[in-house]
Amino acid sequence: MSQNALSEADRLAIRAAAAWYARLASGNASEADQAAWRNWYGADPLHQRAWQRVEMVRSQMERVPGHIARPTLDSARLSRRQVLSGLLLMASASSLGWYGHRASLWQTWLADQRTATGERREMKLADGSSLTLNTDSAVDVIFTEQYRVLRLLRGEIAVSTAPDSHARPRPFRVETPQGGVLALGTRFSVRLTGETTHVAVLEKAVEVQPLGTPRRQRVQAGEQLDFSRDWIGSTQATDSSTAAWLDGSLIAIDQPLGSLLTELSRYRPGALRWHPSVAGLKVSGSFPINDTDLALAALESGFPLRIVRHTRYWVSVEPRT
């Protein structure tokens, strides 16, 4: 397991720290609450480390107040806007609970592994399996004596599972807010897209089960499908574009330009926009995701398009006149 992976004790302590943070930031905390927080904070070094994590996330997110409930419990009063910001953050995090309407920014910051926009990272897990994170992705790695679980919080991952060396082989699952994907000795990818999970199988098979239905469905090599909490879509055949990101490219086969640019925008910071009149233009080709400026230049040279760079972080694709 990754050295950065959180133990179950860490997770429980962080949930408790988040709950304390919400209470102390609410503006309604009493002296008894403050005394109870001090007792909790001083009772265990694990609590102190959890509080430091909460403080770290708080300091990295601009909408959170700059000095809420430090260990000294600063007596400075928070404005109503600051309090509401803190409460909204905690509400969106759902006390760091896993199953919620969607994975929160808070969970992403506390994830065992995460990538920035445009970054891809490959790593070996403790059991010998391989995990690759695509751009702007976050995942928790939870291996116990009973199971091996990856909890996908954001973005997209690819997994190549290894045989388990335990006397009783542990199941290997990827969990998302919509359900679970059980690996059956396989190589596959999982992506969060809005309220659905997309699964593509490259080798062998997986079994998909949404959270809200007992239905299960096996997905074989060369197949892909979407599922939500309550339904499973029909399987479709994979093609050369399915896992091209693992090799550093996007492959378009007679694809609408708007669709291609939507994918390309995942790999570059800032805003990538396009004129409605070019969105339906059909394009084909292989475009690098490690250098999105080069990809845009290829589009400009091969199609009747003009790339307008307002700033480094604001680029628009216009029809060539």
The model's pLDDT over 104-123, given as tens digits with 9 standing for 90+, comes to: 555 666 678 999 999 999 99
Burial of 109 (0-12, 13-18, 19+ CB in 10 A): middle
Q: Is the pLDDT of residue 131 over 90?
A: yes
Q: Quick count: other Cβ atoms within 10 Å of Cβ 45? A: 9
In the predicted model, what is the mean pLDDT of the chain?
A: 82
Q: What is the per-residue pLDDT for 69?
A: 35
Q: What is the mean pLDDT of residues 86-104?
A: 39
- pLDDT tens digits, residue range 230-245? 999 999 999 988 999 9
Q: Does domain 248-319 have CATH number 3.30.70.60?
A: no
Residue 99 binned pLDDT confidence (cut-offs 50, 70, 90): very low
Q: Residue for token digits 């708007």?
A: 258
Q: Is the pLDDT of residue 160 over 80?
A: yes
Residue 129 binned pLDDT confidence (cut-offs 50, 70, 90): very high
Q: Does domain 113-237 have CATH number 2.60.120.1440?
A: yes
Q: Which residue has the higher pLDDT, 97 or 305?
A: 305
Q: What is the mean pLDDT of residues 24-33?
A: 71
- pLDDT tens digits, residue range 60-78? 443 433 333 333 333 333 3
Beta-bridge mates of residue 193: 196
**pLDDT cut 70: percent of the chain above it:** 79
**pLDDT cut 90: percent of the chain above it:** 58
Q: What is the mean pLDDT of residues 157-185?
A: 93
Q: What is the mean pLDDT of residues 90-110?
A: 46
Q: Is the pLDDT of residue 249 over 60?
A: yes
- Highest-pLDDT range among 7-11, 32-36, 284-288: 284-288
Residue 225 binned pLDDT confidence (cut-offs 50, 70, 90): very high
Q: What is the mean pLDDT of residues 181-209?
A: 95
This prediction's pTM: 0.70
d(CA 169, CA 48): 36
- Nearest CA among 250, 248, 295, 286 for reference residue 305: 295
First to last CA, the chain: 55
Domain ranges of the chain: 8-98, 113-237, 248-319
Give the chain as a 3 state SS string.
CCCCCCCHHHHHHHHHHHHHHHHHHCCCCCHHHHHHHHHHHHHCHHHHHHHHHHHHHHHHCCCCCCCCCCCCCCCCCCCHHHHHHHHHHHHHHHHHCCCCCCCCHHHHHCCCEECCCCCCEEEECCCCCEEEECCCCEEEEEECCCCEEEEEEECEEEEECCCCCCCCCCCEEEEECCEEEEEEEEEEEEEEECCEEEEEEEEEEEEEEECCCCCCEEEECCEEEEECCCCECCCEECCCCCCHHHHCEEEEEEEEHHHHHHHHHCCCCCEEEECHHHCCCEEEEEEECCCHHHHHHHHHHHCCEEEEEEECCEEEEEECC
Q: Which residue has the higher pLDDT, 176 or 50?
A: 176
Residue 25 binned pLDDT confidence (cut-offs 50, 70, 90): low
- pLDDT tens digits, residue range 251-270? 999 999 999 999 999 999 88
Structure tokens at 94: 């759902």
